[in-house]
Amino acid sequence: MQAEKTNMKKEILSYIKIIVITAIVVLGCKQFLFAPIKVQGASMYPTYEDKDIIIVSKTSKIERFDQIVFQSPTEDELYIKRVIGLPGDTVEMIDDVLYVNGKAYKEDYVNRQTDDPSQLRITENFTLEGLTNEKKVPEGKYFVMGDNRLKSYDSRHYGLIAKEAIYGEAKITVYPFKHFHVGRE
């Protein structure tokens, strides 16, 4: 009887240890390596839809065209946008063509659908200097834009993003499973 109680206590303690260790590992990973984030809004459509859940890597090196999650410079919220300009880059948009350091880029990820047939451009013409008074993206800063340009509040409106504000890089969508989608709402 006594041996049974001792074995039961050992078993309960082993389960508690497993739960505590698992919780520490999960919280550590979430704090330092990756975290789930829920997308809010339509600014990154068609890449991400409202309410998509994505996994964000907190250890990735940020490169041009990565989708990053960062602390909004104007609200107490996290935003997700695409990195367009890295430190040292010049950025301009001319007739819906993106130029970074003078090189034209085709932006297949941009939502080009519009409800207004008279809408001539999806992205207005601009230069980095005209928007931010900077000829080049300064060290420690990034120029970001949403993929749904007509509905995105981004660096064209609030300026450059500080490296310290970046939470991480979006890596995968875990919900909804887009490859299982049938039709649209």
Q: Which of 64, 4, 44, 19 is nearest to 147 (CA)?
A: 44
C-alpha span between 179 and 60 (Å, rounded): 25
Catalytic entry in 14, 81, 103, 118: 81
Catalytic entry in 14, 43, 57, 106: 43
Q: 81 catalytic, yes or no?
A: yes
Q: Which of 62, 64, 54 is nearest to 165 (CA)?
A: 62
Phi, psi of 26 (to 5 degrees): -65, -45
The DSSP call for residue 160 is P
C-alpha span between 36 and 18 (Å, rounded): 23
- Evaluate whether 80 touches 69 at the Cβ level (below 8 Å): yes
C-alpha span between 100 and 79 (Å, rounded): 23
Q: Which of 78, 64, 136 is nearest to 107 (CA)?
A: 64
| Positions marked active-site | 43, 81
